[in-house]
Structures are given as C-alpha cells and as structure tokens.
C-alpha cells in the first residue's frame, strides 16, 4: 500500500535537519503527524541514562503500545531513526553509539514478531547529513565516496519509500553516501 493519506505518524527528533524533512514529506503525503524533540547534553552517567531512555527505551515503549493495534488492523509501519554510529561507534560518544546499536537489535526483534500481520519495522541510519547537529565540524565531503554531504531531504525520501513498502522489514538502511559500506 503506497498511499499514506489518512495514516497517523509520531515523529520524534523533529526539531530540524532530517526530522524536519521527514515531517514535511509526511504532511505533504497527507499523514497526520505529531512531533517531539529534545535538546543536547554532555556525557556523564545522567546523560548516558537519558540517552538510553530517549533513543532506546522510548522507542521500545512506544512500539509496545502501538504494535498490537497495528497488528490487529493488519497494517502498520514503524520506522526508527538510527545512525551509522550504531554500526561504527561514531564520534558523538559511547552513549549515543550504544543506544543506536541497541535500537538496531530492537528493529530485528520487533519485525520478526509482527511481519506476518502486515506490520513492518525498520530504521534509517544516516551519516554526514548537512544541516544537522550530527555533522562533525572536521568532516570533509571529499571523504565521502559521492564527494558531498547528504541532504535531509534525501533521508526523508528514503524514509517515505520504506513507509510505503510493505515488503521491506527488519532492515537498518544506511544513508551515508557510501562512506560506511557493509
């Protein structure tokens, strides 16, 4: 089913960059969209716990509440926003990388349990996207095989393609210009 009109989305991390671009496309596609966001902090034990709560516990709890209804209706799409840091360790810090790696495990766990009931569970894992707080100041586009940084709209395009596709599930899709091949 590629028509998302009339569907409902909860978009977290929507303060700018990728989240904002995904939000624009969801609204343009006729999806009723709710937004949430949070600002950044330094890494200490409290930051570790907060990062795990926001990046891993909250998605788990949201999915736990939403998936039964989706499965009962025979349709649902869950798309988490991860990061290549979940694969590579990244540069932000251990709290961020660990939370995103855990999110990848959650994708695979949930997808296997709801796929036969018309529900897909996936994640996009961007890196080196301009206009985001996650683009390291020292990054140079020449280090990326496509020789430029990605744009939030490109991540949003992939997000909507995944949301429209009922066959793609249990995937963590890198959006990194070929910088981190698997």
Per-residue pLDDT of 94-111, as tens digits, reads: 999 999 999 999 999 999
Partnered with residue 10 across adjacent β-strands are 34
In the chain, % of residues over pLDDT 90: 63
Q: Where residue 132 sits, what CATH number does that domain have?
A: 3.40.50.720
Domain count, the chain: 1
Question: Would you say residue 182 lies in a domain?
Answer: no
Question: Would you say residue 124 lies in a domain?
Answer: yes
Task: Please give the DSSP secondary-structure letter assigned to residue 150.
Answer: B
Whether 32 shows a pLDDT value over 60: the answer reads yes
Question: Would you say residue 3 lies in a domain?
Answer: no
Question: Would you say residue 163 lies in a domain?
Answer: yes
Structural domain boundaries enclosing 34 = 8-175
Question: Would you say residue 2 lies in a domain?
Answer: no
Q: Nearest CA to 125 among 90, 76, 165, 74?
A: 90
Q: Classify residue 5 by burial, with Cβ atoms within 10 Å: 0-12, 13-18, 19+.
A: exposed
Cα gap 172→182, rounded to integer Å? 11
Indicate yes or no: pTM above 0.75.
Answer: yes
Q: What is the pLDDT of residues 144-170, one digit of tens each?
A: 899 999 999 999 999 999 999 999 999
Q: Nearest CA to 71 among 9, 8, 113, 32?
A: 113
Per the annotation, the verdict on 96 as an active-site residue is yes
Mean pLDDT throughout 30-49?
78
Please, what's the b/e burial string for 52-84 (b: 16 or more CB within 10 A of its CB; e: otherwise)? beebbbebeeebeeebeebbeeeebbbbbbbbb
Q: What is the DSSP string of 40-76?
A: ----SHHHHHHHHIIIIIHHHHHHHHHHHHHHHHT-E
> Counting runs of H as helices and runs of E as strands, what totals does the chain give?
6, 5
Task: Quote the pLDDT of residue 36.
Answer: 65
């Amino acid at each position: 089913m590629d028509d998302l009109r009339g569907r409902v989305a909860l978009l977290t991390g929507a303060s700018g960059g990728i989240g904002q671009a995904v939000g624009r496309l969801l609204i343009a596609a006729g999806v009723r969209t709710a937004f949430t966001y949070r600002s950044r902090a330094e890494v200490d034990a409290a930051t570790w716990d907060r990062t795990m709560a926001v990046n891993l516990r909250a998605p788990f709890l949201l999915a736990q509440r939403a998936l039964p209804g989706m499965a009962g209706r025979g349709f649902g799409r869950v798309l988490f926003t991860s990061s290549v840091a979940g694969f590579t360790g990244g540069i932000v810090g251990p709290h961020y990388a660990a939370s995103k790696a855990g999110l990848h495990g959650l994708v695979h766990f949930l997808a296997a349990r709801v796929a036969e009931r018309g529900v897909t569970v996936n994640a996009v894992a961007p890196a080196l996207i301009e206009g985001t707080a996650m683009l390291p100041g020292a990054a140079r586009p020449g280090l990326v095989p496509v020789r430029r940084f990605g744009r939030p709209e490109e991540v949003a395009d992939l997000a909507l393609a995944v949301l429209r596709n009922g066959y793609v599930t249990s995937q963590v899709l890198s959006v990194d210009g070929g910088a981190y091949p698997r």
